[in-house]
Amino acid sequence: MVPSSMALRSLINFSRFASTYSKLGAYSSFTSQASPVSEPATFSDRGEDKYANVNWDELGFGLVPTDYMYIMKCSLNENFSRGELNRYGNIELSPSSGVLNYGQGLFEGLKAYRREDGRLFLFRPEQNALRMKMGAERMCMPSPSVDQFVDAVKQTVIANKRWVPPPGKGSLYIRPLLIGSGPVLGLAPAPDYAFLIYASPVGNYFKEGLSPLNLVVDDEFHRATPGGTGGVKTITNYGPVLKAQTRAKAKGFSDVLFIDAVKKKNLEEVSSCNIFIVKGSVISTPATHGTVLSGITRKSIIEIARDYGYQVEERSVPVDELIDADEVFCTGTAVVVAQVGSITYQGKRFVYKTGAGTVSQRLYLNLTGIQMGLVEDKKGWIVEVDGAFS
């Protein structure tokens, strides 16, 4: 069943929650200015059985500090062990830390959703954990196990549950970070590492909201090169796009669509999301061969599209195929599925079908329906946050 747009945006009566935290000791993987949780506390005695004081109707994609963050540490050639929740706050790092000097850091992004019965759910968190492990290997870093990662995410959501928006009003965006926190002067892996998670309630990623995006192809700047780190979610992948993105937005575009750095003829990614083009019953997307990130939303949309009978091709997609495409859309944790209204390439503007009845809308409604509990999850993608620490 595909839910209607109205169902996806429906409101509910607020639910009240009662849950008790486990006792947590002070903990820090490096010097932290955040206050550790040192006393048992309940939602009721902190007023956390209610929603936070947020104007949910005006929620965008900006940082809204919540109550708690998660911290866990280890040294090089060791394994991560038990972490703790701290009050959300600033951290201190050595000026010679690996992350500050050599960009030795990874991040992930996933969301928690509130359903109409008040329960909270995550979408495929184990995939984020596996992607971080892959990225950590590339960056010579230890990483949390899949179970540690998922458990830490659950703890962070539970601790910040009053910040999870009402159904249809947004989601709680969760940002896990893995950084080289230890000091290092010569070029080498850092001696110590920290795994952190913080969260923020968010609405639509683009200022256009659900309106179609207007992209521009940039053939001067590139976000990734063969043999680099474009295929893993390292922090160093994102700084290089800022110049092109800033220039594009100054000209009125929503974002930049990058092409490959070698032949300069194949599509790769938008600044922070994957790209798909539709022609008839065929959906094409750039293959993830080292320079394109393997997005979890991308992977999910491919599965859903194939279930609907579409032919999905993961391959090199020449930029020339933009000329006669029927539809173009982007996918990502932050953007979910965003329709593209136009793409400008070398001064020529190509316009695409958007709105009701499009392939992208059909896929969007199915994916968000699964995430929000309006469509049956037959794939086991949804993980409930049960309200108890393990």
| For the chain, the helix, strand and coil percentages under 3-state DSSP, each to the nearest 5 | 25, 30, 50
Backbone CA torsion sign across 156, 160, 166, 170: negative
Whether 257 contacts 275, CB under 8 Å = yes
Which DSSP string do the residues of 279-308 spell out, in sequence order?
A: ETTEEEEE--SSSS---HHHHHHHHHHHHT
Distance between CA atoms of residues 283 and 308, nearest Å = 12
State the first-to-last Cα distance of the chain, in angstroms, to the nearest integer: 34
Token pair in block for residue 171? 């989601």
Is residue 263 annotated as a catalytic residue, yes or no? no
Place of tokens 């109550």: 67
Cα 146 off chain centre by: 17
Burial 26-41 (b: 16+ CB within 10 A, else e): ebbbbebebeebeeee
Neighbours of 388 (CB within 10 A): 12
Q: Which of 233, 18, 59 is nearest to 135 (CA)?
A: 233
**Largest Cα–Cα separation, the chain:** 62
Q: Which residue of the set 50, 169, 233, 348 is catalytic?
A: 233
Token pair in block for residue 329? 């859309």
Distance between CA atoms of residues 123 and 129, nearest Å = 12
Q: Which of 235, 152, 242 is nearest to 199 (CA)?
A: 152
H helices of 89-172, in order, are: 98-102, 125-138, 146-159
SS3 248: helix
**Catalytically active residues, by annotation:** 233
